[in-house]
Amino acid sequence: MKTFPGVITALTLLAVIDLTGIPLVMADSPLPDIGQSGASLLTPAEERRTGEAVVRNIRQAGGIIEDPQLTDYINYLGAQLLPYADNPDQNRFQFFIVDDNSINAFALPGGFIGVNYGLILASESESELASVIAHEIAHVTQRHYARAYEHASNTQLPVLAALIAAIILGSKGNELGQAAVTSAAAGTLQQQINFTRHNEEEADRIGIQLLAKAGFDATAMAGFFDKLDKQSRLQGENVPNFLRSHPVNTQRITDAQSRAAQYPKAKPRDTLSYQLMRQRLLALTASNPETVLAQCDKELNSEKNPVLSQPSRYGEALLLIRLKKYAQAENEIHRLLNLQPQRIAYLLADAEILAKNNRLPEALNFYESILKLYPTNAAIIHDYVAALLRAQRADTAKNVLTQYMKTNVPEPEFFQYLAQAESMLNNPASSHEALAEYYYATGQYHQSLDQIQLALKLPRLDFYTASRLEARAQLIKQEIPASNPSTATQN
């Protein structure tokens, strides 16, 4: 990642206040009417480009949990809220999980919303998690970043994207992020504090409305804020980042409760998917799987109802897979499949056990049967292609990937798999091109350009392919932030 000298603009200051753990906002700050003037200066296309670049930069630093099932769930949850949002079509929303155990969430320009896995684990219901996502959706639909851009119209978008990403990563001790916070605090602090206070009030109001209309518990937002606030008071200075970036006081919680009371009480929701994915996060992020496994055992022993014990049993199976105890894991998954034979999470866990336990032919047959049930599911395709490549079936892997990528936006790893398949099929130009797209999607712009140059140097490259690659290289170069060569560094 690169570092950039110079003054941080008001847009990045908004990111500092909204995304980091710096308690800058006072409870009695006034709430001025900001208006819409900034919205005309940043077009939706520019917002999208900035947000995409921020996500690529976060991904380059390894800051995103690349798990198709978890990604699918968080996007599914967001999709439950979007039909009730203002102008949802102006943004192609994309939700992702940040590999950070602190309690935080943030919105980016263009419809990108990140949720730290620590916040998901801190939530105790799907409505609580949905309340945070609804709040961040409101930040995007109300174009709060576009308003802030009024003060940053002369700054290059790639530079802004790099700085915002650095600020997000700064919560994990990134030096660039800390430097950005220090620089941003100078000059326009009071104006930006007021601006952010107004945004937070507006996001609360609209977020609660989204919750209620989508059938979630509208009281969950105030309840979650209040719970986090009480926990932070008990923990002293260890305040959750979400509360620091979204300051909570008694009046704000009371206002949220009053707004929620205006809506009918929500009907109970089936939250098994939420509970399963929460267990999946626990299993995948556990630094000590044995300890978490013991907790799952305890929960299973205390819960006699096999239907209610599904989340704990699923978590136990995943932990057993991590510990390579495949026979035990298979027993647990088969118990779950007896209850719900078509649930994707259970089917994929069963197939994963077969693949990792050197039963690859069985696993491939199983993936093919699952794919017939869910032909466009990204998690199934991801795991199936990985197994195909292990089995040296590159032609089938390529066909599956290309069919999927015709109508869906692929995760970066799909390009990596496609590059591997093309290489195995002795198609070097296509392999370099796919790998270039993988590097681009993960914010590694120079490596992406290197792959294109390798492809262009191949003998007997046809004119059409060469022209396409050269045009792509020019577009990628535009995404590289301008910097001072004497001070910029690249990892």
Annotated catalytic sites, by residue? Answer: 136, 204
> Which residues lie closer than 8 Å to 359 by C-beta, 6 or more apart?
none
Rounded CA gap, 477 and 472, in Å? 9
Rounded CA gap, 111 and 89, in Å? 10
Burial of 157: CB neighbours in 10 Å, binned 0-12, 13-18, 19+: buried
Rounded CA gap, 111 and 90, in Å? 9
Rounded CA gap, 247 and 25, in Å? 7
Order of strands across the sheet with 112-116? 94-98, 112-116, 105-108
- DSSP per residue, 402-443: HHHHHHS---HHHHHHHHHHHHHTT-HHHHHHHHHHHHHHTT
Rounded CA gap, 156 and 481, in Å? 8
Rounded CA gap, 224 and 131, in Å? 8
347 CA to centre of own chain: 24
> Which residues lie closer than 8 Å to 173 by C-beta, 6 or more apart?
none
User: What are the two backbone dihedrals, phi and then psi, of residue 420, each rounded to the nearest 5 degrees?
Assistant: -65, -45
Q: Are 132 and 120 in contact (CB under 8 A)?
A: no
> Which residues lie closer than 8 Å to 28 by C-beta, 6 or more apart?
none
Q: Give the start-end residues of each E strand in 323-383.
A: none
Rounded to the nearest 10 degrees, what angle do helices 68-81 and 272-285 cross at? 140
- First-last CA distance in the chain: 5
C-beta neighbour count of 53 within 10 angstroms: 26
